[in-house]
Structure 1
Amino acid sequence: MAAVVRERPARRGGPVGQEPPPAGPGRPWARRLLGPQRRHLWFWVFTGPFVIGLTVFTYVPLGWSVWLSFFEARNTVTPAAADFVGLDNYAAMLRDEAFTDSLVTFGLFTAFIVPATYALALALALMVNRLRFAQAFFRSVFFLPVACSYVVAALIWKMSIFNGVRFGLANTVLGWFGAEQVAWLSTTDPPWYWLVLVTLRLWLQAGFYMVLFLAGLQRVPPQLYEAAAVDGARPGWQTFRYITFPQLRATSVAVVLLLVVNAFQAFDEFYNLLSDARGYPPYARPPLVHLYYTALGEEQNLGAGSAGAVILALLIAVATVVQARWFGLGRKEG
């Protein structure tokens, strides 16, 4: 008797081990979004809230700020079409001496804080990297200030360490040596407030960049040091100059870029250190402090404030691109 061979129905997804066919043009968008067999579902479950938050709290305000910069928007974030002024807000901000002075203040702050933080973070990383015991403890100790709030640290610096009366720690130490008391935050000649600002930012951020340098130091192949020792290189300055420092080039570029961008965004330490019940003094106003008073001051000129914010963002982008090109970031090594 001839055997009757029954054909099995083909599986929906094709043979075993074969991927299901991609979604065709006629499939609904939800199937394309979720992927075959809903493989992308969990990706959207975990990343969806962050994408929504980033869009609502970052991209939408950025776009709205650019839109406001083309309008005469005073005391409102929804100006009428008749209030369109084009590039007048940008021209007014570039002619504003207070805004240009704030850019000069940023330049001075950058000139102080970038090299000081770079040198201190690198020195701390070199010292911690050479430790043979308790390395994790000292790494945590130096990194701990990064978790401190800028506002809290500014109040400690202002009320306790650099208080302008004899009860401040700095004036107490000066009194031990017979020196006169210093009004650290209200003296403009000499401008002692720069010492307060720079030391505060150094304490807050040096630990973070130390960790970056530590990661770079741990990637340096030990064979390079062994070869240098065989060639007669002295441990110390020669080893650091010809081996360690060149190997930290990529880390150094990243650190400098981050430092410059963070200097552009300085606000908390300036505002909380220098402002008082009378307001903010006319000196040492970084761009964000000036824009804060422009957009949220008495006039509440949100159009001009938005134009200044766009100018500042463009300056950050240009500075970042110029530095990246200068340091050859992303360039293939031949």
Structure 2
Amino acid sequence: MTTATTAARNRRKGNHRKRNHTLWFWIFVGPFAAGLALFTYVPLGWSVYLSFFDAHNTVTPSDFTGLDNYAAMLADPAFRSSLATFALFTAFIVPATYALSLALALAVNRLRFAQAFFRSVFFLPAACSYVVAALVWKLSLFNGVRFGLANTVLGWFGAEPVAWLAGTDPPWYWLVLVTVRLWLQTGFYMVLFLAGLQRIPPRLYEAAALDGARPGWQTFRHITFPALRATSVAVVLLLVIGAFQAFDEFYNLLSDARGYPPYARPPLVYLYYTALGQGQNLGLGSAGAVILALVIAVVTVAQARLTGLGRKEE
């Protein structure tokens, strides 16, 4: 009888502890989950809903159009041009960021002192706002033709000043766009590579040295780089997704009082002007956003399959 009573009491205590754990879980997670649902998933669902309606100047449309918005968006040369802009931006920014962040990680990882200092210094730009960085680049470094640090340095060597953001032949604005993104994100990916480098077992390098491998390029090629495969795949994946989502630097660098120029419009800038510009076509903009989301998903899944992301390493 005593044993049964004790067992029942233990079960009640166990159930009470489980209820307390569940209660505290929802106390801490509930507000975040509610905010995520309210400000992320509800707008996403409503955007998909709007994409099937004629939604000019309204978020509560009544005229169902089916797939007409999707057909119009895919037939729009400006939208296809925005995807081409993304592809060109990706071709610039992904390999440049990958190479620079890996080089910085290798250099910082070899330091014997002040490693934490240099890691923090290189990572610090990642905490900077893209809007602020774009304005600094535009107003201080590449400001107009007569002003700006870049043209001042060119003048020291007797070179003519350059209209960095106003000309298309040659398209110097790509240099401005790529350098500001490089400055902002290289430190973040450097930290990812540093984490990958510190996970490589030292015994691999010891075994390579015993086998006659020379330090430097040979060790990097046969030991370090293959060991960073999983980190490299994740970095490239994040870089491609980030390139798809480029907006702040394009909009703040290239737009002025006259509006945004017809060149170098990435998808998000194009959709911004479609949905919130003079036409206020929220249905067409929502259809473009859904198409862009599907493109990102397809590219991400294809890249993950090709690179073997998530598979167990042999």
Instruction: State the TM-score bracket (shorter-chain normalisation).
Output: over 0.9
The answer as to 2:240 corresponding to 1:273 is no
Q: Look up the match of 1:247.
A: 227
Q: Could you list the runs of 4 or more consecutive aligned residues of structure 1 that deviate by over 6 angstroms after TM superposition?
A: 19-22
Q: Which has the higher helix share?
A: 2
Aligned counterpart, 1:61: 43
Matched, 1:205 2:205: no
How much does 1:330 deviate? 1.7
8 Å CA contact 1:13–1:20 kept in 2: the answer is: no
- The equivalences for 1:118-157 within 5 A come to 118-157=98-137
* Residue 264 (structure 1) aligned to one of 229, 244, 256: 244
Measure, in 2, the Cα distance between the counterparts of 1:131 and 1:151.
Answer: 33
Give a deviation string over 1:101-129, Cα, whole Å, max 9, x none. 00000000000000000000000000000
Kindly provide the amino acid, as one letter, of the partner of residue 44 in structure 2. Answer: L
- Asked if structure 2 preserves the Cα contact closer than 8 Å seen for 1:164 and 1:181, the reply is no
Q: CA deviation at 1:331?
A: 2.2
Q: Deviations over 1:220-276 (max 9, x none)?
A: 000111111111111000000000000000000000000000000000000000000
**TM-score computed with the length of structure 1 as normaliser:** 0.91
Structure 2 counterpart of 1:68, one-letter code: L
Specify the code of the residue in structure 1 equivalent to 2:300: T
**1:110 is matched with which residue: 62, 70, 90?**
90
Change (3 A) 1:164 1:40: same
Distance apart, 1:37 and its partner CA: 3.6
Task: In structure 2, list runs of 5 or more residues that go unmatched.
Answer: none
- The aligned residue for residue 327 of structure 1 is 307
State the TM-score, normalizing by the size of structure 2. Answer: 0.96
Which whole-Å CA distance do the structure 1 matches of 2:66 and 2:50 have between them?
A: 10
Q: Report Cα offsets for 1:16-61 as digits up to 9, x if no partner.
A: 3x57787xxxxxxxxxxx9844321111111111100100010000
Can you give the 5+ residue segments of structure 1 that lack an aligned partner in the other structure?
1-6, 23-33
Residue 231 (structure 1) aligned with residue 225 (structure 2): no
Q: Do 1:225 and 1:243's aligned partners in 2 also have CA atoms closer than 8 Å?
A: yes
* 2:175 is the alignment partner of 1:195: yes
Higher-Rg member (1/2): 1
Say which of 221, 226, 236 aligns to 2:201: 221
State the distance in 2 between where 1:243 and 1:317 align: 32
Partner of 1:30: none
Aligned partners of 1:155 and 1:273 also within 8 Å? yes
Alignment of 1:45-124 (within 5 A): 45-80=27-62, 83-124=63-104
Alpha-carbon shift at residue 11 of structure 1 (Å): 4.5
Partner of 1:44: 26
Change (3 A) 1:9 1:324: closer
Cα deviation, residue 12, structure 1: 9.0
Percent of residue pairs bearing the same amino acid type: 79
Distance in 2, matches of 1:8 and 1:229, equals 68
Q: Secondary structure at the match of 1:279?
A: coil
The one-letter amino acid paired with 1:73 is A
The aligned amino acid for 2:243 is A
